[in-house]
Structure 1
């Protein structure tokens, strides 16, 4: 019986180890390991970035396949991640998916920029209250970060005038608008194009206004960050802006589901950081790509544990993880096996099984051998022979402990002697 229990325990551990490998290391059983990524709209910066990384990944990790899922916007990408339709998604930091998942990489910051004509008397954003403002075409008027900024200064959404890129310079020069609002990153992009359009129209670079409420905004909404745009961030010659500018930004992030394995998340982070230079050559917007701050992994925007382990230099190898899981399962299996043996012994001890019933029959037969009529002694002896054969067979199968067989033999001998004495009695 003990051998069967040990074998059953060993098989249970093997099955559990295979099941764990299937859950934690599925690529072991598959020719390819597929990761679904929500990228945003086709042709967008996020889609270009992920597509470029997909090409690099196919060269270095042929078994890992990125399956790109196009979405209408980053809002839909975040929803797809939260609904479990994808494993990775490019989302903004102000979407709930960024707080509910784990950040793998910060692709770029997107800042709110406010520009006025170089000759304008406006020196602060608060002076723009009640004035018409050009909103660079392509920037949604209901953007959460933009609305947060204009609400902080008491500006009215009705004063925002959607203006094509080609017309922003002329609108500013003709004073049809007091300022231009745009959202973007440093380097090539919509803000740099707007700066060039203003320079062509006014012959002078625009003046950028500091968002003095940036600290208060980020304190109320920790998903945003206070950012400083360096001098020359949008145009090198002449330097535009000519001095650093304080503003507030939202970060575009590559976020993974929390269920993604730590090893996979860490390896994705490693490959992204290694191939950053190549990606920047083909996708200019990738120049602002950076690793997340692991000191903030317990904040509102957590870093994926696998990414944090890689960045902190504590990432375990695949072999180490497998050995750790095997060690855990061996401990759990040993505990479960011991518990199973104890339960089995308790069950056998308290269950009135066939062996127990036959054992209880022997004392009764000893009493009957002394009291039954003489004509029933033959039947009693035949029953005793059958019981002796039954106990001997169970002993040979190791279903009766050797310690008990000695007591059985003594009891059976006493019953036989009692029958013999009855027969020889006058």
Structure 2
């Protein structure tokens, strides 16, 4: 079967089309692999500050052109944020260590530390947990603080139903002033914004000193429930002069984490962690609470395990240049070699720079043999004999001039003799065919 050679212009257009498709596919692949990855994060708090904080971080990630972006989902409360995370509807969440199901959670950063404060109004005789028996304690954000209430009830023998009453944040001041409750239980970061809010619940004045109640069994509670740790509230935290408390006061503390699902890639979370920690100082101007952003415990037996990607950042074990790009360095020569082969094939396909195949005298003679077998007239045979004579004359002339490319005479004679026999046989065959008369 004869091969069909496409015209040069058609081969060129085909090659350009293939190149355009390859470049387009490469660009699409590059955009796919370099596009920012957006993670959903659930956040919620009774004062809305958790959502504002995460929105600030999300905006900072956009302004720094980070490889990771955040889509903040306002769940209303910390409990609902933990629920959304446990249900798998979000990638990240801002949750307290003592709220919700965290079995699929791994820590990225500690957003803040949440400190338990039990506060009685100025002039109250309640100065210890034992004196709270038979009294009513208002619990701000009761759903989120259900676990800590259970812990205190068990440790101090308090009747949970009779001692603790859930109070909405807007009703806290009214409840304490109307003596509906004898004390308030709040769990807050020790940041000025939240301390000012707590002060506003109570009577103000030079001698109006709220009473902070110590959790003397904080150490034992922390050993029994690792979501908590014993913590000393510094002297003068709630009020400076005169100081409230008047000395360091023992209580409980839990942490507010940004957590990630275990299935998220290490490189992705390492990038997120690095970006958050690097912009932490800038965030302070917008949200002072970010002063408390810190690395979670990387100990293997930590209460909430740190995500491997975050751990790699904190421990300085992120992949080095060779670790990350070693495969590319190894594969690049192979890829370039493959591209060179493709280009060579394309060059050959176009036929650029390739000399046209020149048909030699023997090729011409062999081609005549095929023609002889197909001729139908004496005239065609005569024409072929003339072509044979022309080829023979040209080759003898080259040989006489000393042209090294000339075919030797013996080879030419053999080929010519074979053709003469074919011509003779064809003439004999044509002579035996009956004549064909055409109608006038």
When the two structures are superposed, what TM-score results if normalisation uses the length of structure 1?
Answer: 0.62
Residue 313 of structure 2 corresponds to which residue in structure 1?
310
The whole-number CA distance in structure 1 between the counterparts of 2:52 and 2:142 is 19
Residue by residue, what CA displacement relative to the aligned partner does 1:12-64 show, whole Å, maximum 9, x if unpaired? Answer: xxxxxxxxxxxxx9986253321221122696222111100011111212543
Residue 86 of structure 2 corresponds to which residue in structure 1?
82
List alignment gaps of at least 5 residues for structure 1: 1-24, 328-426
The whole-number CA distance in structure 2 between the counterparts of 1:122 and 1:151 is 20
In structure 2, which of residues 106, 112, 116 is the aligned counterpart of residue 112 of structure 1? 116
In structure 2, which of residues 169, 174, 177 is the aligned counterpart of residue 167 of structure 1? 174
Residue 32 of structure 1 corresponds to which residue in structure 2?
36
Residue 351 of structure 2 corresponds to which residue in structure 1?
none
In structure 1, which of residues 134, 148, 153 is the aligned counterpart of residue 151 of structure 2? 148
The whole-number CA distance in structure 1 between the counterparts of 2:223 and 2:110 is 21
Q: What pairs up with 1:5-404 in 2 under 5 angstroms?
A: 29-40=33-44, 44-95=48-99, 97-117=101-121, 119-136=123-140, 138-140=141-143, 143-156=146-159, 157-161=161-165, 164-167=171-174, 170-171=177-178, 177-200=181-204, 203-294=207-298, 296-317=299-320, 320-323=323-326
- Going from structure 1 to structure 2, the CA distance change for 1:158 and 1:27 (only over 3 Å counts) comes to farther
Alpha-carbon deviation of 1:152?
Answer: 1.8
- Going from structure 1 to structure 2, the CA distance change for 1:84 and 1:151 (only over 3 Å counts) comes to same
Q: SS of the residue aligned with 2:190?
A: coil
Alpha-carbon deviation of 1:269?
Answer: 1.7
Q: SS of the residue aligned with 2:72?
A: strand
The whole-number CA distance in structure 1 between the counterparts of 2:258 and 2:221 is 24
The whole-number CA distance in structure 2 between the counterparts of 1:208 and 1:94 is 22
- Going from structure 1 to structure 2, the CA distance change for 1:243 and 1:324 (only over 3 Å counts) comes to farther
Q: CA RMSD in A?
A: 3.2
Alpha-carbon deviation of 1:139?
Answer: 4.1
- Going from structure 1 to structure 2, the CA distance change for 1:72 and 1:311 (only over 3 Å counts) comes to same
The whole-number CA distance in structure 1 between the counterparts of 2:314 and 2:76 is 32
The whole-number CA distance in structure 1 between the counterparts of 2:46 and 2:250 is 32
Question: Structure 1 segments of 4 or more deviating over 6 A?
Answer: 324-327
Alpha-carbon deviation of 1:189?
Answer: 4.3
The whole-number CA distance in structure 2 between the counterparts of 1:197 and 1:41 is 19
Q: Is this contact kept in 1: 2:45–2:51, CA < 8 A?
A: yes
The whole-number CA distance in structure 2 between the counterparts of 1:141 and 1:55 is 28
Task: Compare the two structures and name the one with the higher helix fraction.
Answer: 1
Alpha-carbon deviation of 1:71?
Answer: 1.8
The whole-number CA distance in structure 1 between the counterparts of 2:300 and 2:147 is 24
Q: Is this contact kept in 2: 1:38–1:88, CA < 8 A?
A: yes
Q: Is this contact kept in 2: 1:27–1:33, CA < 8 A?
A: no
Alpha-carbon deviation of 1:75?
Answer: 2.6
Q: SS of the residue aligned with 1:241?
A: coil
- Going from structure 1 to structure 2, the CA distance change for 1:68 and 1:255 (only over 3 Å counts) comes to same
- Going from structure 1 to structure 2, the CA distance change for 1:68 and 1:162 (only over 3 Å counts) comes to closer
Q: Rg larger in 1 or in 2? A: 2
Alpha-carbon deviation of 1:226?
Answer: 1.7
Q: Is this contact kept in 1: 2:99–2:147, CA < 8 A?
A: no
Residue 348 of structure 2 corresponds to which residue in structure 1?
none
